[in-house]
Amino acid sequence: MSPRTPEQNKKIREQTQQKIVDAGFTLFAREGYASTSIAAIARKAGVSKGLIYHYFDSKEAILSTIFDQMIDLGDEILDFPDDFTPADKMRQTLQETFQFIEQQTGKGRLMITLALQPETYSNLQSKIERVNETQTVKYIEMLRELGHQQPELEAYRLGALMDGILMGYATMGEAYPLEKMKKKIMEDYVPS
């Protein structure tokens, strides 16, 4: 009955799905998960409500997908070329993290909010933990390579610091001294 080839269909499917995920992400980040309605997502994505349920089982499934994509993206951040020195790695990691903080504030805000409500979004919990762990492991490795004494503890400290900066920037916006913080932290952690 359909005049479309399977390939076309697949492409359409993926595009539509992505439109929904993008719309959902934007709104979740801006308004929060609970305050964002399926109707609003449908509107922003330019599709019908029904179609959303064609692609996703529930509102939470959208969130879950968004989360997966965020994780994939996070993994990319933490990957670098083989010829990088430990200092290069740290520099790039910090730079990219600060870039994320500045440019994807909404994303960060959303992640924090979700991470802080384990009971409500229990099936995201394992994913969140995995993200944290992955990040911590990478930090530990880098810090060890850089010759820190207690790389594990130092990794927690660095992680907390970056989380705190994200929070500060997400809360205060432009009033937060993001650039200065970046400079200071780069100086501290990246031997020049």
Partner DNA sequence: AATGAATGAGTCTTCATTCAT
Partner DNA sequence: CATGAATGAAGACTCATTCAT
Q: Which residues bind DNA (CB under 7 A)?
A: 1-4, 8-9, 12-13, 16, 35-40, 47-54, 57-60
Give how many residues touch a second copy by CB under 8 A.
Answer: 40
CA–CA gap between residue 167 and residue 157 (Å, rounded) = 15
Q: Which is nearer to a second copy, 82 or 180 (CB)?
A: 180
Judged by CB under 8 A, the chain residues 90 through 109 that form the site for a second copy are 109
Q: Which does 172 bind (CB under 5 to 8 A by kind): a second copy, DNA, none?
A: a second copy
CA angle 43/118/128 to nearest 5° reads: 80
CA–CA gap between residue 24 and residue 45 (Å, rounded) = 8
Distances (CA, A) of 134 to 13, 81, 151, 165: 31, 18, 15, 20
Lay out the site mask for a second copy across 158-177 (x = CB under 8 A, - = otherwise).
Answer: -xxxxxxx-xx-xxx---xx
Contact between 112 and a second copy by CB under 8 A: the answer reads yes
The two tokens of residue 117 are 């409500």
Q: What DSSP designation does 45 have?
A: H
Q: Which does 38 bind (CB under 5 to 8 A by kind): DNA, a second copy, none?
A: DNA
Q: Which is nearer to DNA, 51 or 161 (CB)?
A: 51
Instruction: Pick the piece of the chain touching a second copy (CB under 8 A) from 4-12, 55-63, 86-94, 127-135.
Output: 127-135
Lay out the site mask for a second copy across 19-58 (x = CB under 8 A, - = otherwise).
Answer: -----------xxx-xx-----------------------
Distances (CA, A) of 43 to 19, 57, 69, 126: 11, 18, 22, 31
CA–CA gap between residue 149 and residue 154 (Å, rounded) = 8
**What SS3 state is found at 146?**
coil
Contact between 128 and a second copy by CB under 8 A: the answer reads yes
Contact 115/102 with Cβ under 8 angstroms? no
**What SS3 state is found at 8?**
helix
Q: Which is nearer to a second copy, 73 or 160 (CB)?
A: 160
Binding site for a second copy (CB under 8 A): 30-32, 34-35, 109, 112-113, 115-120, 128-129, 132, 150, 152-153, 156-157, 159-165, 167-168, 170-172, 176-177, 180-181, 184-185
